Every structure is written in structure tokens, then in C-alpha cells.
Structure 1
Amino acid sequence: MFDEVARKQLDTDGFCHVPDLLPQPVIERLRDFFEPLLIADTVPRKALRTAPGGKVVTNVGDLFAWGDPAPLELLALPEVMQIATAICGENVFVAQEFAVIKHRGDGNPVLWHQDMVYRRTAPCFTMGIYLDDADAGDGALRYVPGSHLRDEPICDLAALPAVEVPARAGDAILHDMMVAHSSEPMEGNAIRRVIYLEFMAAELALGEEIYPRDVIDNRRRLLFAARRYRRETFPAASCFKPRQRDPSPRDRHQPLGRVLSEIAAHPRFLRSANYCFDRIAAQLD
């Protein structure tokens, strides 16, 4: 659970582990969502890698824009959104959503990086939601504790002592977007699917000119679309209610698929992650 101890660790170390965040039925629905996406076809919003057994999908972007609204349910789960609002406040929005997929023996590391460099004028964080186990010593994420509070180059941060954070299916790992993190390739489990949601306070996006108001309002539409989807699909389930102004009341009268397509089509320029490539270059020399 996300309690005061977890919140203090997030503030101090830049990361924390939240066990058993997702109910099992939600895990199963999300696993079903990924089944057709694992086909290694060359289409936009997918990244492929050549593995010993052939090409595999390693990244899938814009998860709310694939036609199946299953991942949208995450933005209506009280278990997820209570964390997001506790950290970022009621004006929270999800800046982007994507998945990182590892396959046994694909040789796919995650290089040392920071998700986004910002001035810390308001909160933002990344929530990694695990659909499969990430075992210790088998490519689980590593973090440099406290690196989100140090104004040093990413390659200098990557040289500091790190800790590994394993997770089980249904768990989440939260981290500040400034914390240095990476992972090694996976050799044990057959597959690992992790959904990443980047949450941000509107005050941060506006104050540091990360996103303009129209982009924020467009992305805020997702919270209301998510509530509608969960209430219509699982009417007996508990549902998060945004305490924000609905930026697009007309969405209530449009097909959900059209709403999600409109949101995905709105221009949005993401701030680049900050990677350390020096270690790779040194290995190649």
C-alpha cells in the first residue's frame, strides 16, 4: 500500500515499491490486451528488436490509442488514482503511457537515464505497473537512491551505487522522473510486460512550460473517458471520480473510440528522456 512510509521513501530515495496494486481480473484483462500487440509487425508506436528466435516487440507507445480501451481502466481504478492525486494533487493528468516488454534472451537492456529533467516546482512521477514478475538478478530495475535531488550529469549519477527493486505481477514501482535508473537484459522468465504511466501536476506543466494548456486539457479528457468506460463496463466496481472541471463535456455523447482517437491525434511534443550513452560507447571502443 502507498502509506506514509512509502511516500517518505519516494521523496527521499526517488522510488518506492507498492505491492499488490492491481486486482487479478485487471491483470488478466491487460494481459489479453497485449496479446495482439506482441506480433512483431512494423507499425507506428511499436519498437522491435532482433532476438535469437527472431524479431520481438520491446516497446509499445500510446496505449490508449490501439482500439482496445482495456488500459484506460487504470485511470479509473481508485487504487491507482488515489496514489496519483496524493502525489500530484487534484489537477493531475497522465502525460504519456507506454509499455516496455522484455523477452527471455532478447539482450534488451534499459540504459541509465532520467525520464525527464525538470526544476522541481511541482510534483511528477512515473508509475510502472507490472503484469509479470521482475525477479532479483534477472533484469529488474535499478535505481540510484537520492539521485533525483542531485544536479549532476546523468553519467555521473549512473556511476553511483544503485539498488535493485524486484516486483511481482500486480505490483507497481513509483519513481520520480529525475531519479537515475536502468535495467539489464532478462534471461529467466519468458516475458515481462510493464505499463508506464507518467503523471504530472498541471502546475508543473504550465509553470515550467513543458506543455501548453490545450495539451493538458486534451490529456485530462482521459480521466473522464476512463471513468465512463469503467462505469459502463463494470457498473458494480468502485470508480475514481476526478475533482477537476471536465474539459470536454461533449465527449459524453460521442463513442468512446472516437474520443480516444481525438485525444491521440492532438499534437503533443514530449520532453526527451536524459540518457547516458558514455558506457555503451566505452564498451564499443
Structure 2
Amino acid sequence: MYGSHLQNIANNGFTVVEDIFGPDEIRSILQQINKTNADKSTFRKSAGLFAIRQFLKEIPEAQSLIFTAKLKNTITALFGDGYFMVKAIYFDKPEESNWFVAWHQDLTISVDKRTNLPGFGPWTVKQNQFAVQPPLNILQDNFTIRIHLDDADEGNGALKVVPGSHLKGIYRPETIDWDGETETTCAVKAGGIMVMRPLLLHASNRTTNHKPRKVIHIEFSKADLPMELTWAELCKI
């Protein structure tokens, strides 16, 4: 059942699995989001974007709604046991959004503090959250699941990716030879998930079809960090 997905992840760095969440499950998740106080620093609101960082810390009631038996079984089938959640963000790209994201890899992890460690760096801080680029082997083993609460296609900012780019280590966008690369858009129906490696080059266009795009972005790892550091959003699944 999952053979083609395993091959897609290994070769291309991503796969799309449909029908993980039903309409009632999506409604329940959105109800929890909509009744949350959005005045905190971890919430970012503008005409073109609504985002919640540290999503499950801010809305812990959503955890049981997200980590259903079907999602957990899918994670185990694709990656085995031992993984835990290390970061969660909710993104809402509204109908009139002109927000876009340039080509990039997800090169940082969220941790509890800043400290000097070999192989860790550079460091950044967003909304009082420390982030650091870890050694390459940690990034290579991590994975991300993007839960789609709306249908997404090229018209409302579904991710564009460069298949196979996760196999090239740190791959700076400014060094890409586009004559040797192709891009593809990852259309996903509401209730489906996109699974990707963090080193996969990806980007997102502006919205052009006046349709919303709501996504829960969750990162997973099974890496033991040095004793000086702790995962900032660690959550067992």
C-alpha cells in the first residue's frame, strides 16, 4: 500500500497521501483554531497571512484531533517507530493573499536556548524561539508532514518543489542550474497530506484564484540532541 510513497520519498524527497482526514475531522480542527485568542506574539496576522507558531503549545486541544490513528499508522508505515514531533506551525493563506515564499530548504530546528556547540549554527530567533542549523545528518533523517485543510493547487499557493534536491546536501538557491532541474507543483486535496524531507527545495507562489489555503506544518525527528540542548516543541505521538 505504501510502496510507491516510500519510493517517492527516497527518490524525489516528497509524496502526497490523500484522505487522511475527513470533512468532520477538518471542521473540528478549525473550530479549535477559530476559538483561540490570537493576540499572542506567536500569532502573526496581516491582510495576506495568518500564522500560528508553536501551534500545539498554543492550541494543545488540537493534538488529539491531529494525531489520529490513521495519521500515526501512516507515519509508522513510512518512517518506522521512534519519531516525535519537534515543530508545528499553522499557515492560513487568505483568499486575497499576495504572500509568496522564495526557493529554500528548511535548514533549522527549534531548540530551547542558544549555546556554542560544534556543528550547530548559524542561529536565529523568531517570536522568542531559538532556531539553529544542526549537523547535516539530523536534517537528512527528519521529515515534515503538511496537513491540508483546504484544496491546494498552483492557483492558491500549493508548494512547488525540485524533485531529488533533498539528495544534494545544502543546496543554495542562488547556485541552482535550472537547465538541469525541473520543478513540480504538489496539488493536495483537503484532508490529504504532503510528506517531505526538509532538504527538499521548495517555494510557494502568490494566490491567484481567490481560494484560501490552510495548512498545518509539522516537523518530526528521532535525533538525540547534545545534552546542552532540548527540542523546544518536543511532543510524543
User: Structure 1-normalised TM-score?
Assistant: 0.64
Report SS of the residue matched to 2:97: coil
- Contact between 2:2 and 2:78, CA under 8 Å: does it hold in 1? no
Aligned to 1:278: none
Deviation at 1:217, TM superposition (A): 11
> Equivalents in 2 of 1:66, 1:216: separation in Å?
16
Rounded to whole Å, the distance in 2 between the matches of 1:198 and 1:87 is 14
Tell me what 1:219 maps to: 234
Cα distance change on mapping 1:99 and 1:212 into 2, 3 Å: farther
- 1:65-84 superposed matches below 5 A: 65-67=57-59, 69-75=61-67, 77-84=68-75
Please, which of 181, 187, 191 is the counterpart of residue 166 of structure 1? Answer: 187
How far, CA to CA, are the matches of 1:212 and 1:124 in structure 2?
19
1:183 corresponds in structure 2 to 204
- 1:96 aligned onto 2:87: yes
Tell me if the contact between 1:144 and 1:157 (Cα under 8 Å) persists in the aligned partners: no
Do residues 153 (structure 1) and 180 (structure 2) align?
no
Displacement of 1:157 in angstroms is 4.0
Work out whether residues 155 and 208 of structure 2, in 8 Å CA contact, stay in contact via their aligned partners in 1. Answer: no
Higher RCO (CA-CA < 8 Å; seq separation 6+):
2
1:127 aligns with 2:127: no
The equivalent of 1:107 in structure 2 is 98
Number of residue pairs matched by the alignment: 207
State the 1:218 CA deviation. Answer: 7.7
Counterpart amino acid of residue 59 in structure 1:
A
TM-aligned CA distance change 1:14 to 1:104, over 3 Å = same
Deviates more, 1:57-66 or 1:126-135: 57-66
Aligned position for 1:269 = none
The offset of 1:64, in angstroms, is 1.6
Aligned alpha-carbon RMSD (Å):
2.7
Q: What is the match of residue 14 of structure 1?
A: 13
Structure exhibiting the larger radius of gyration computed from Cα positions: 1
CA pair 72-146 structure 1, distance change in 2 beyond 3 A:
same
Q: CA deviation at 1:120?
A: 3.6
Q: What pairs up with 1:247-262 in 2 under 5 angstroms?
A: none
Q: What amino acid does structure 1 have at the position aligned with 2:53?
A: G
Q: Which has the higher helix share?
A: 1
**Shift in Å, 1:219:** 2.2
Q: CA deviation at 1:168?
A: 1.0
Deviation, structure 1 residue 92: 0.8
Cα-to-partner distance string for 1:21-52 (whole Å, 9 max, x where unaligned): 11222111012122245x8x552111233x3x
The 1-side partners of 2:45 and 2:25 are apart by: 26
* Gaps in structure 2 of 5+ consecutive residues: 108-132
Distance 1:60 1:67 in 2: 9
Q: Distance in 2 between matches of 1:214 and 1:200?
A: 14
What amino acid does structure 1 have at the position aligned with 2:234? R
Q: Hey, what's the Cα distance between the residues in 2 that align with 1:217 and 1:143?
A: 28
CA distance, structure 2, for counterparts of residue 74 and residue 24 of structure 1: 13
Whether contact under 8 Å (1:105, 1:185) holds in the other structure is: no
Tell me the TM-score normalized by structure 2. 0.76
Q: Determine helix, strand or coil for the equivalent of 2:90.
A: strand
Cα-to-partner distance string for 1:240-274 (whole Å, 9 max, x where unaligned): xxxxxxxxxxxxxxxxxxxxxxxxxxxxxxxxxxx
Q: Does the aligned pair in 1 maintain the 2:155–2:209 contact within 8 Å?
A: no
- Structure 1 regions of 5+ residues with no counterpart? 224-285
The verdict on how the C-alpha distance between 1:183 and 1:19 changes in structure 2, with shifts beyond 3 A counting, is: same
Partners of 2:26 and 2:183 in 1: CA distance:
29
Question: 2:3 and 2:21 mapped to 1: Cα distance?
Answer: 20
Distance in structure 1 (CA, Å) of the matches to 2:69 and 2:190: 18
